[in-house]
Amino acid sequence: GAGVSQSPSNKVTEKGKDVELRCDPISGHTALYWYRQSLGQGLEFLIYFQGNSAPDKSGLPSDRFSAERTGGSVSTLTIQRTQQEDSAVYLCASSGSGRAWNTGELFFGEGSRLTVL
Amino acid sequence: QKEVEQNSGPLSVPEGAIASLNCTYSDRGSQSFFWYRQYSGKSPELIMSIYSNGDKEDGRFTAQLNKASQYVSLLIRDSQPSDSATYLCAVRGFGNEKLTFGTGTRLTIIP
């Protein structure tokens, strides 16, 4: 499809396991964001990629969290040694360059719901 | 102090009335301001953006910005049940490319 695609849509894991969440942005979009949303809460910024620039990792909550973006397209968010407080919906968003980026319009995927038991 | 603050609500408004949603931000250098709507179980979608002091109208929606007071608001006229959602305020700072979101205000329109 033409939208932001995330997988898996749901992930249940045991405490201490590693998980990988994938995001496939809209084709041609240079900016990619990861946010986390806990139940009933707002969006917590995690990390931002823009083109070939160094990513803004200022929102990653601990060194258990990392993300990469290969070839300026697909991104993977990895959470090592998961904890129960990591349970949330992880949202990926992308936006275009130039005027589209300046509008602040982020196009969100449907999210990956992570449950850590 | 949170970077972007909103009253979490819930805010209940009768159908046909005006819904008023408010947001304050801490970074005086912020340049761009946005309102996103998020239906339950869905992802956020952009409904309004505003960059200059004053009002900006789009259909039933009006965004208001006051940079001196570091305050941005969203008015929804002739509220409809389909407007029931969580409204997220988002702010982008000068030279800072990330969008910082508030916790959102849950709005319920009562038929």
- Is the minimum CB–CB distance between B46 and chain A shorter than 8 Å? yes
Provide the pLDDT for residue A30: 87
Residues A105 and B49: their CA atoms lie apart, in Å, by 9
Which chain A residues are Cβ-neighbours of B34 within 8 angstroms?
104
Which chain B residues are Cβ-neighbours of A50 within 8 angstroms?
97
- The DSSP annotation for B16-44 comes to TS-EEEEEEES-TTEEEEEEEEE-TTS--
Residue A56 has which token pair?
């803004």
Residues A11 and A101: their CA atoms lie apart, in Å, by 31
pLDDT digits (tens, 9 = 90+) for B52-69: 999 999 999 999 999 999
**pLDDT in tens for each of the 111 residues of chain B?**
678 999 878 999 999 999 999 999 998 888 899 999 999 989 999 999 999 999 999 999 999 999 999 999 999 999 999 999 999 999 987 766 788 999 999 999 999
Provide the pLDDT for residue B14: 97
Task: Select from A47, A45, A3, A54 the least CA-distant residue to A24.
Answer: A3
pLDDT digits (tens, 9 = 90+) for A24-83: 999 888 889 999 999 877 899 999 998 888 899 999 999 999 999 988 789 999 999 999
